[in-house]
């Protein structure tokens, strides 16, 4: 049985593995296919592609966009993206600028609370273009200002805590279009985590291609529910561990094994979309 993990993060966003380490784990766990879905970036994909090729693993280029639809936060996964697509790269660099600005704002709030963290130390630790709250938390631990990542989130960084800054998000419809114009398929990430059930019909209408039915935080009952919803709205089925390396305890890769038949359906849908675009030219 061939299987895949289509939701993975590296050091190019808030994961702790390099692409090579991640591909190594994938190989030892017997994965046929992996997709890299770092937040708001495709930068790690070239290295991940090379590492997967060396390990005999099929690789799918991906990214995870933080979007919203009528005030509901929704994460949109893009697959089979053209990493040279100019519009995609321009938009992604805008999202990254927003993330970097938000780091400055969170550090300013911490400083007001007499927590002497420097923005430079967060950027140095993150060492990537898509920094986020996990990097602020790690920098706080590293500077000895909190004892643990949990303490950093509980005291300062969780939603509505004193150093939390809401993130400006792309509209879900724009996110879907952005992925499509870059040759990709758009998939709703972990619907069970963001409670985005109500917006599935609207996004399906707007061209959403699939939903992530299998995810580390979906119970068997939730996965079954999303398989049924995918069937009802003629959406593709995906799944992934959302592994962030060691940043959230033990690595999650290996916990989700998406049967390969879903990869075949994704590829067919991608080809179908491609030929539709070709015909329009």
Question: Applying CB under 5 A, which residues contact Zn ion?
Answer: 14
Binding test (CB under 6 A) with ligand AMP, winner from 153, 156, 214, 226:
153
> Least distance (Å) from Fe ion to the CB of residue 242?
4
Q: Is 140 in the site for ligand AMP (CB under 6 A)?
A: no
Q: Is 240 in the site for ligand AMP (CB under 6 A)?
A: no
Q: Is 5 in the site for Fe ion (CB under 5 A)?
A: no
Judged by beta carbon, residue 204 or residue 256, the one nearer Zn ion is 256
Q: Which of residues 107-136 bind ligand AMP (CB under 6 A)?
A: 132-134
Nearest-5° angle of CA 41, CA 47, CA 49? 95
Q: What is the 3-state secondary structure (H, E, C) of 26-92?
A: HHHCCCCEEEECCECCCCCHHHHHHHHHHHCCEEEEEEEEEEEECCEEEEEEEECCCCCCHHHHHHH
Q: Is 138 in the site for ligand AMP (CB under 6 A)?
A: no
Cα 264 to Cα 130: distance, rounded to the nearest angstrom: 31
> Least distance (Å) from Fe ion to the CB of residue 74?
9
Judged by beta carbon, residue 149 or residue 179, the one nearer ligand AMP is 149
Judged by beta carbon, residue 33 or residue 41, the one nearer Zn ion is 41
Question: In the complex, which residues of this chain contact Fe ion (CB under 5 A)?
Answer: 64, 75, 189, 242
């Amino acid at each position: 049985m061939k299987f895949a993990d289509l939701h993975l993060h590296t050091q190019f966003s808030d994961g702790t593995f390099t692409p090579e380490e991640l591909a190594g784990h994938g190989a030892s766990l017997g994965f046929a296919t992996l997709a890299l879905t770092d937040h708001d970036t495709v930068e790690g994909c070239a290295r991940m592609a090379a590492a997967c090729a060396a390990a005999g693993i099929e690789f799918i280029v991906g990214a995870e966009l933080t979007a919203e639809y009528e005030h509901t936060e929704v994460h949109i996964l893009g697959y089979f993206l053209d990493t040279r697509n100019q519009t995609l790269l321009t938009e992604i660099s805008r999202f990254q600028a927003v993330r970097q600005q938000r780091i400055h704002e969170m550090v300013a709030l911490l400083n007001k609370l007499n927590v002497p963290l420097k923005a430079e130390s967060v950027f140095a630790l993150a060492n990537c273009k898509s920094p986020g709250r996990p990097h602020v938390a790690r920098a706080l631990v590293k500077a000895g200002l909190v004892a643990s990542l949990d303490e950093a989130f509980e005291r300062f960084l969780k939603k509505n805590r004193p150093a939390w800054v809401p993130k400006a998000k792309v509209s879900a419809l724009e996110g879907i279009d952005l992925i499509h114009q870059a040759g990709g398929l758009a998939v709703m990430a972990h619907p069970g985590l963001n409670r985005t059930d109500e917006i599935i019909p609207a996004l399906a209408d707007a061209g959403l291609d699939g939903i992530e039915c299998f995810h580390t935080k979906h119970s068997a009952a939730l996965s079954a529910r999303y398989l049924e919803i995918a069937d009802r709205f003629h959406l593709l089925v995906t799944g992934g561990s959302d592994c962030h390396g060691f940043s959230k305890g033990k690595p999650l890769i290996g916990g989700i094994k998406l049967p390969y038949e879903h990869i075949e359906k994704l590829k067919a849908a991608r080809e179908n979309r491609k030929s539709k675009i070709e015909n329009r030219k």
